[in-house]
Amino acid sequence: MFTKILIANRGEIAIRIIRACKEMGISTVAVYSQADKESLHTALADQAVCVGGARADDSYLDGKRIVSAALATGAQAIHPGYGFLSENAEFAQLCRQYGLTFIGPSAEIISKMGDKEAARKLMRENGVPVTPGTDVLEGPGEALKAAKSIGYPVMIKASAGGGGKGIRLVERPEDLERSFRTACAEAEKAFGDGRLYMEKYLAPAKHIEVQLLADHDGNIVCLGERECSIQKNHQKLIEESPSPGVNPETREKLVQAATSAARAAGYVNAGTVEFLMDKSGKFYFMEMNTRLQVEHPVTELVTGVDIVKWQIRIAAGVPLDFTQKDIQLQGAAIECRINATKSSRVEFFHPPGGPWVRFDTFLYQGCDISPYYDSMLGKLIVYSSTRGEAIRKMQSALCELLIDGVENNIEEQIDIVRDRRFRAGDYYTDFIKYFNPKDKG
């Protein structure tokens, strides 16, 4: 087992990993930008190293500086968290080059699954259902022909995409060329790769993802599914497990498909296979995320499996000590992402409390919210024996959560969990499009 790990991230996820390491008896090294000098994760780690300026390009995205910090402090492994360098194959390769363990899949697997079009092709070849669509498109002209064949509406997606970037919904032929060029430019800026492909737009559809762990011995265990259909601008707002729209028969099929996907990729460590599911229960592969997900806590609560600790164990060569038969989903867990809508200073902060209520965050009273990074302030997570009680617990916790001085989306989240469609579990990825805060049923 490692004795010292560097966490190549910031905010709540850096804190989450530091806490897991402390419980495992592992020393930690935090890295920080000049803007994050007073951040909570730097105080909680055993050591902290400044790796550059406030801009992510000058600090958290500078792989060479992070590797240098790991070597200088004697860390044996690097945990990338999510975002930043977590799905960067070059960084994973750089770690290996300097004898550091990258806590995640290999550079080869990251490259294979990071190319969305290539991943779709691999899934088709291995019997995993894939949304009808195309390979990489040469330009708007080819896209027009493909859309006519597939049938509108269609989704244009970045092959190297993620995080809602480089995606456009096209409902009419006259909008396709403009959408294609806009998505291409956005993808080029975000990923340095403007390649696009096209999928049939499924509506209404649920966004269902399956969390899994895979060790070096070829053992693969799926930890149930998460429902991630409450989204705004292709960014998730609320996640829950288990999904209210998945029955035991469909769950078994999802587990089989996700296992086949991981085996086809030769996957090792924690990963998530994402699907779109229509009203009839048919589901289609979208992509595989080769990292820890923001919403991993809801899975941990309903399975009792600590995903972060198992990421570390697997990276150290420890085989899984449980099988698929050992995974039984118990109760219900919900997570609400609390986002800043404007950067400022936290004047007053009061997190909610009570049994099975937690707020994963980096906030403290008086801290500044930087404009340089992601807008998420924290994740409010609740667990209960039933979904109905979990919803009521979440409503209570949201009302108790106070973050003064920073404009945020707490009120919006309260309205969503009170919505009759959310309470019924009868919601899809177009929820926000038809969302009416007054429609509480």
What are the φ/ψ torsions at residue 67 (nearest 5 degrees)?
Answer: -60, -40
Bridge-based pairing state of the strands 402-404 and 348-350: antiparallel
C-alpha 379/C-alpha 384 separation (Å) is 17
DSSP alpha helix (H) spans, 74-198: 89-97, 107-114, 116-125, 140-150, 176-191
With b meaning 16 or more CB within 10 Å and e meaning fewer, what string describes 416-432?
Answer: bbbbebbbebebbbebe
Q: Residue 132: is the preceding peptide bond cis (ω within 30°)?
A: no
C-alpha 154/C-alpha 171 separation (Å) is 7
Look up tokens 């109760």; give the residue.
331
Count of CA atoms in the C-beta half-sphere (13 A) of 363? 29
> Is residue 210 helix, strand or coil?
strand
Active site residue 291: yes
Write down the catalytic residue from 10, 16, 65, 291.
Answer: 291
Tokens encoding 185: 């430019």
Q: Are 372 and 55 in contact (CB under 8 A)?
A: yes
C-alpha 173/C-alpha 70 separation (Å) is 51
Look up tokens 């048919």; give the residue.
282
Look up tokens 């705004």; give the residue.
232
> Is residue 226 helix, strand or coil?
strand
Q: Which helix (H) or strand (E) holds 27?
A: strand 27-33
Tokens encoding 173: 């032929």
User: Residue 236, exposed/middle/buried by CB under 10 A (0-12, 13-18, 19+)?
Assistant: buried
Listed in sequence order, the residues at least 6 apart from 120 whose beta carbon sits closer than 8 Å to its beta carbon are: 130, 131, 133, 197, 285
Tokens encoding 177: 């060329």
Residue numbers annotated as active site: 291
